[in-house]
Amino acid sequence: MADKKLPSTFANMVIVLTLVSVISALALAFTYSVTKDAIAQVGVKRTLKALQDVLPEFNNDPVKEKYTLEDPEFKDIELYPARKDDQLVGTAVQTFSDNGFGGRIVLMVGFDAVARIRNISVLNQTETPGLGNKMTEPKFKDQFNGKDPSAFKMKVRKDGGEVDAISAATISSRAFCDAADRAYRALLNGGRK
């Protein structure tokens, strides 16, 4: 029995391409619907872990109390107040910079009750492995801990600041400083609730 082959006409090609596209779209939609809740849960767990890493001990739910500022300068920045027995003990600010070598970097910057940086957690970055991604290492990010941003110049030394840049990754270091500074400015502009 001979195989029947569709003639190679424009109409047949359009039909086959349409079928392939529809089947692919349905497969993607199904995959998204199956995984979206799991992805959201991973995001919430990552946020909770970052909050615990950057804030003093708290007993409220900062995720439920999170808020944003109306100022367009702070669009896409989220603030998480941390309270212990209804007293504000700190605020975490999820901030970003689009000036990274590999694009946007996202940080969680924790401030204590008097606006000193307690700790910083890198949530997302696509910097060069072995260079810019060293921003996640304590040697770089811990130099911000305990600093009062009103007195500590959050710029790399090359730009007149007090931050030791990552060797061969000045752009990534600048982006980290930019994001941390944006977090501090957001905190000052209504971030202590």
Which one has a higher pLDDT value, 39 or 181?
Answer: 181
Q: How far apart are CA 81 and CA 87, in angstroms?
A: 10
Mean pLDDT (the chain, rounded): 91
71, part of any domain: yes
Nearest Cα to Cα of residue 179 among 104, 121, 96, 103: 96
Model-wide pTM > 0.95: no
9, part of any domain: no
112-160 pLDDT tens trace? 999 999 999 999 999 999 888 899 999 999 999 999 999 999 999 999 9
Query: How many other C-beta atoms can be found within 10 angstroms of the C-beta atom of residue 130?
Result: 9
153-183 pLDDT tens trace? 999 999 999 999 999 999 999 999 999 999 9
pLDDT for residue 87 is more than 90: yes
87, part of any domain: yes
Q: How far apart are CA 187 and CA 117, in angstroms?
A: 11
Spell out the residues 6+ positions from residue 82 whose beta carbon is closer than 8 angstroms to its own.
51, 55, 56, 58, 60, 62, 88, 89, 90, 91, 92
Q: Indicate the pLDDT class of residue 2, thresholds 50, 70 and 90.
A: low
Q: How far apart are CA 122 and CA 133, in angstroms?
A: 10
Print the domain residue range for 77. 53-188
- By percentage, how much of the chain surpasses pLDDT 90? 72
Q: Indicate the pLDDT class of residue 45, thresholds 50, 70 and 90.
A: confident
Domain count of the fold of the chain: 1
117, part of any domain: yes
**Tokens 């710029």 appear where?**
155
